[in-house]
Amino acid sequence: MKSALFLCLLLLGLHVQGHHEPSHNDEQEEQKTVHSPGDHSHVEGENLAHLKIAPSNADFAFKFYKQVAAEAGDKNIFFSPLSLSAAFAMLSLGARATTRHQLHKGLAFNLTEMEEREVHEGFQRLLQLLNDSHREVQLSMGNVLFIDDQLTLLQKFVDDLSNFYHSEAISSNFQNTSEARKEINDYIEIKTHGKFINLLKSLDSNTVMVLVNYIFFKGYWEQPFSSLLTSDDEFFMDAKKSVKVKMMYRNKPYNIHRDEKLSCWVVEIPYKGNVAALFVLPDEGAMKQVEDALLAETVSNWAKSLKNRKIYLYLPKFSISGSYDVKNLFKKMGVTEVFSDQADLSGMTENTRLKVSKAIHKAKVDVNENGTEAASVTVLEIIPTSLQIPPPPVIKFNRPFLMMIFDKISHSILFQGKIVNPAASED
């Protein structure tokens, strides 16, 4: 049963900016500790490196969301903070001096409490957990570096890419931009199961390297909605505008929380395989105060306050996408040098100066009741009758709401978004 499909992609294009850049010595900087919003599951004891980077990744997720939201207006928002964090952390392997410091700071890593190596070990463990073939969820994340065949990378950088980020370096003929572009697009199409076709529309003639990070997730609700109960309804984008939607309905117990201080409902809907969606429905007029309070601590408090309770739940079906110029957004967040002629990426290659010329991110989400599965099952739920005082609350997502997708095993926010118009056509 296909209840949700999430796809994310981040591309970084690197240009030559000159010649002869002497290598700089590595330096140490900063990072944090962890806790994952909405996680109630056990974790494996043998390797907890991912826990050290979880709080920083969460802080970055909400920082980036606020930057996007400040410019989004009445548009939908959907992105993968984990895709962004992983790609730029991978890039930081080759960064030095101020360039590296800005990347770490922008990603919310504070290396006063841990070593830089532990950041990369955290992503190494994250990738192992997310790509575990024994999990009950279809989830994959990966990285690749396409490199001009005239460019020679430092061996340590190549080794670190492979070791920490499971990334391969693919030699490409960037002198033939159309050939290189086709090779990159074909790779993306395969890794995203055909959901992103011909994504890279052009390739600058100065490009010598393209870094790609992708996440693919196909989730199944633990308890699917019945399509028989889906009906036409209105979704109120604001006080004056509404759109027609297909509204799903379920009358069952969910983990919920009413935040009276922020005036919002929080509903957790679990997927099979230790992944859960957190849907946040602000009261009318309360969206801004909820967004302003969107911090790792807030979401952690919501998670701790969840109580299992029967509700009348209405949730629209939707298929939306988001496309972002990450370069512009990061520059506004203080990450500037890596995009400039002052960029120090001397840990990548010995005698060629590089800078990031382009960084784009695209994500898609499709949420519905069910799909096709080669099996059938009948489940009868029998519970004791009780006099319910007060009656179950009606939580109807018929106005703009927030969503977050958490992987409880890796303690990661996989995806984050704001649905303003569930009927909007995809980009």
In a domain, 28, yes or no: yes
In a domain, 164, yes or no: yes
Residues 6+ apart with CB under 8 A from 295: 59, 62
Would you state the pLDDT for residue 102?
96
**Rounded distance, CA 92 to CA 180, Å?**
24
Would you state the pLDDT for residue 357?
85
Would you state the pLDDT for residue 389?
59
In a domain, 20, yes or no: yes
Domain that holds residue 182: 4-220+319-366
**Of how many residues is the chain composed?**
427
Would you state the pLDDT for residue 262?
97
Would you state the pLDDT for residue 363?
84
Q: Which two tokens stand for residue 148?
A: 């001009």
Paired with 169 in beta bridges are 145
pTM, 2 dp: 0.85
Handedness of CA 179, 184, 189, 195 (dihedral sign): negative
Amino acid at 343: A
**Rounded distance, CA 2 to CA 241, Å?**
30
Indicate which CATH number applies to the domain containing 210.
3.30.497.10
Would you state the pLDDT for residue 426?
56
Q: What is the pLDDT along the chain (427 residues), one digit of tens a residue?
A: 233 344 445 555 555 554 433 334 433 333 333 334 444 344 444 578 899 999 999 999 999 999 999 999 889 999 999 989 999 999 999 999 999 999 999 999 988 878 899 999 999 999 999 888 888 877 888 888 888 888 889 999 999 999 999 988 889 898 898 998 899 889 888 888 787 888 888 888 888 888 888 888 888 898 899 998 999 999 999 888 999 999 999 999 999 999 999 999 999 999 888 889 999 999 999 999 999 999 999 999 999 999 999 999 999 999 888 888 888 999 999 999 998 889 899 998 887 888 888 888 888 888 888 522 222 122 222 233 344 457 889 999 999 999 999 999 888 999 999 999 998 865 5
Residues 6+ apart with CB under 8 A from 95: 103, 338, 343, 344, 345, 347
Would you state the pLDDT for residue 40?
38
Amino acid at 217: F
Q: Are residues 142 and 191 in the same domain?
A: yes
Q: What are the strands of the beta sheet with 138-148, ordered from one edge?
A: 168-172, 138-148, 207-219, 4-19, 352-367, 318-325
Q: Hey, is 14 helix, strand or coil?
A: strand
Q: Are residues 148 and 194 in the same domain?
A: yes
Q: Are residues 149 and 89 in the same domain?
A: yes
Would you state the pLDDT for residue 290?
97
Q: Is the distance from CB of 91 to CB of 327 less than 8 angstroms?
A: no
In a domain, 374, yes or no: no
Q: Are residues 295 and 314 in the same domain?
A: yes
Containing 301, the helix (H) or strand (E) segment is helix 296-305
Q: Are residues 107 and 32 in the same domain?
A: yes
In a domain, 305, yes or no: yes
Q: Say if residue 390 is preceded by a cis peptide, omega within 30 of 0.
A: yes
Q: Are residues 104 and 60 in the same domain?
A: yes
Would you state the pLDDT for residue 427?
53
